[in-house]
Structure 1
Amino acid sequence: MADTKIKISVVIGLVLSCIIIVVTALCFSYVEYYEFGFIRQRSTGVVDLSEVHTAGRYFLGPDREFKIFEADAHFIELNDIAVFTSDKLEVGLTVYFQYFLRKEDLPLLHAAYDIYYKDVIKTSAQDALKGATTSFNTRDMITSRAILEATLFRAVSDRIGGTCCRQNCTSFVYACPLGCKPSVTCTTDDRGLFADVRYFQLGSVRISSSVKERFMKALTLQEENDTEKLKQQAQIIRKNTTAKVKMIQNEAEEMLQQATADANYIRALSDANYTATVEKARSEGLKQVT
């Protein structure tokens, strides 16, 4: 009988130990290095937004866990977005960009969108792209890619990131865009969608066949017009050159004729002086002889 009680006590002790181990294990929650986390109560679903937790192991108790947000890059691809240029033509754009959630604004993001912020950011980026391309014509979309990419990057960054200066202005290209507001004076509306677009890449620029034909025709007409202008300029230059050559030749001929006349005059004068001198000498000689 005593042995049975001992065995029961041992079993109960083992069961209790297992329960304690399991409960203790459940009390620990983890946040990975690529995550942010808010503490959430399991039983009620209430989320504590007072602190954003970063990577580590936390003892929260059995009724609490972490609600996780991504702390690393969010990769977005907008494929063949239809936009309009300043000359009212439709062009398809493919762009890629990477954004990061701002830790200090994560409570505001949660309050506004909860975990459903990705579609909102994607849609807002599309709207920003459509607004930014209206200042470019179709030719610029093809020939000025560097300027186009920088303009689109700034437009998407402003729409998603807002108009607040970041704490570190050197952290990425548009961390502190021209005219940004100091963080201490920013309102919730100034903070955009509470994320930073740090990288942006312009992909393909698709032009429809009909637009290509119109574009190529316009380019051809422009080239023909430029060619005709060059031909006209060349004719004018040839005429001016011919006139200048003729003028120089005339001046040279006049100078030659003038030089010839001057030479003949000098020669005739020299001959006359020579004859006069000889005759005078002869006359003097005859006087002396007589």
Structure 2
Amino acid sequence: METWVKGVIIAVAVTVVLIVLFVPLGYGYINYYEFGFTRQRSTGKVYTHELYTEGRHYIGIDYAFIKYPSFAQNVLIKNLTVFTQDSEELKLYISFQYFIREDEAALLHRKYSKGYTPTLYARARDAILKAATEIHSSEFWLERDVAESKLKDALQIELGGECCEKDCILLSEGCRTDCRRYDFCSEERKGMFMYVKYMQLLRVDLSPTLTTENLSNAKSEVRAKGAVYDQEVAVVEKEIEREVQIILNQAEEIRENGSSHASLIRQQAEAEARATIDVAHRQGISRVFSYLGIRTVEHKASFMYLRTLKYKQDLYLSVDFNQLTMSSNIAVVPNDVDKNVENI
């Protein structure tokens, strides 16, 4: 075999080996929670014209990825002394979460590179200090959500700038009312190219003087509310007594009406009963007169007289057979005499 052929074979073999060795080294990997730019190893230059997201990308053996997080970054600021609108001293504990805007990540890298964190902390603290001077101390415990919203707006303007979010009209929270349109917003107005999504006012420490004053005010407020509640209770009790009395009066009226109605029904029933008895009595006497053959008025009157005397309980009848007369004496009649009278 000729020498040049051997040289070609060796060159091809070396090329294949180099490809096998170096091509895999030219791939870079970005996780699902990252994005980044390419950086040339030999020169250290970062190319921000193309943004890479999750996946495996071939970038060459002389390049590597410089990565940024695509998930929410949490910042905790503790024991920050601030002065409020009414010159009260407070200590705040604040936490907030921000995202790096992917479409502005190139601007972030060109301005701050990877060392943006200290600047972020400093600017966030300054924004909170400035915003606190425009918030009254009472809002930090009486209207805490209002104070928290004002601090969040200050952080958003400082870190995210004055520009609206891109396509913010599609977001659930919508666009900020005071932001500038994204298309017409310059780089100087974009802050640190971040979006503050959430913020929590974790804790507020008051000065001893303010704590004592607030406690005194709270006690006075509780006493005032207690007095109002006592007055309301008294009014309610009076109203209940009035309603109870109305119900009792209505019940008494119903009872009186019922008693009157019952008395009327009873009197009507008694009258009807007496009428029925009188009718039956007249019919019975008429049958007796017819049965005994009593026709004259004198005989009827005598019968009625005798019948009346018979039912007198304190009457003792006696018959004088010599004069053919009958007399009555009032006396206590023994039981055996009563039986004799019944037989007359």
TM-score higher than 0.5 = yes
Aligned-pair Cα RMSD in Å: 2.7
Tell me which amino acid in the other structure corresponds to 2:207: S
2:187 counterpart of 1:171: no
Tell me which amino acid in the other structure corresponds to 1:171: L
Q: For structure 2, which runs of at least 5 residues remain unmatched after alignment?
A: 1-8, 232-344
Structure 2 counterparts to residues 182-197 of structure 1, below 5 A: 182-197=181-196
Deviations 1:85-105 (A, max 9, x none): 122111011111110011111
* Greater relative contact order (CA < 8 Å, ≥ 6 in sequence): 1
Residue matched to 1:95: 94
Residue matched to 1:202: 201
How many angstroms does 1:38 deviate by?
A: 0.8
Residue matched to 2:109: 110
Q: For structure 1, which runs of at least 5 residues remain unmatched after alignment?
A: 1-8, 235-290
How many angstroms does 1:209 deviate by?
A: 2.4
- Partners of 1:70 and 1:101 within 8 A in 2: yes
* Closer, same or farther: CA 148–172 of 1 in aligned 2, 3 Å: farther
How many angstroms does 1:160 deviate by?
A: 0.8
How many angstroms does 1:136 deviate by?
A: 2.5
- Partners of 1:108 and 1:194 within 8 A in 2: yes
Tell me which amino acid in the other structure corresponds to 1:45: G
Tell me which amino acid in the other structure corresponds to 1:62: I
- Partners of 1:42 and 1:64 within 8 A in 2: yes
The higher radius of gyration belongs to 2
- Partners of 1:77 and 1:95 within 8 A in 2: yes
How many angstroms does 1:213 deviate by?
A: 2.4
Deviations 1:112-148 (A, max 9, x none): 1000111212211111111112233322211111111
Tell me, in whole angstroms, the C-alpha distance in 2 between the residues paired with 1:20 and 1:211: 74
How many angstroms does 1:31 deviate by?
A: 1.4
* Matched position secondary structure for 2:138: helix
Tell me which amino acid in the other structure corresponds to 1:48: Y
- Partners of 1:38 and 1:67 within 8 A in 2: yes
* Matched position secondary structure for 2:85: coil
* Closer, same or farther: CA 44–111 of 1 in aligned 2, 3 Å: same
Tell me, in whole angstroms, the C-alpha distance in 1 between the residues paired with 2:140 and 2:114: 36
Tell me, in whole angstroms, the C-alpha distance in 2 between the residues paired with 1:180 and 1:213: 41
Normalised by the size of structure 2, how large is the TM-score? Answer: 0.57
* Closer, same or farther: CA 96–108 of 1 in aligned 2, 3 Å: same
Structure 2 counterparts to residues 60-71 of structure 1, below 5 A: 60-71=59-70
Structure 2 counterparts to residues 193-232 of structure 1, below 5 A: 193-217=192-216
Residue matched to 1:125: 124
Normalised by the size of structure 1, how large is the TM-score? Answer: 0.67
How many angstroms does 1:54 deviate by?
A: 0.9
Tell me, in whole angstroms, the C-alpha distance in 1 between the residues paired with 2:131 and 2:190: 20
Residue matched to 1:40: 39
Residue matched to 1:151: 150
Tell me, in whole angstroms, the C-alpha distance in 1 between the residues paired with 2:141 and 2:119: 29
Residue matched to 2:21: 22
Deviations 1:58-110 (A, max 9, x none): 11111111111111111111112111112211101111111001111111111
Tell me, in whole angstroms, the C-alpha distance in 1 between the residues paired with 2:21 and 2:79: 52
Q: Which runs of 4+ in 1 moved over 4 A?
A: 15-19, 217-224
Tell me, in whole angstroms, the C-alpha distance in 2 between the residues paired with 1:186 and 1:176: 14
Tell me which amino acid in the other structure corresponds to 2:159: I
Tell me, in whole angstroms, the C-alpha distance in 2 between the residues paired with 1:191 and 1:48: 21
Tell me, in whole angstroms, the C-alpha distance in 2 between the residues paired with 1:172 and 1:70: 23
- Partners of 1:172 and 1:198 within 8 A in 2: no
* Matched position secondary structure for 1:165: coil
Tell me which amino acid in the other structure corresponds to 2:99: F
How many angstroms does 1:28 deviate by?
A: 0.5
- Partners of 1:163 and 1:181 within 8 A in 2: yes
Tell me, in whole angstroms, the C-alpha distance in 2 between the residues paired with 1:87 and 1:223: 24
Q: Percent identity?
A: 30
Tell me, in whole angstroms, the C-alpha distance in 2 between the residues paired with 1:51 and 1:60: 11
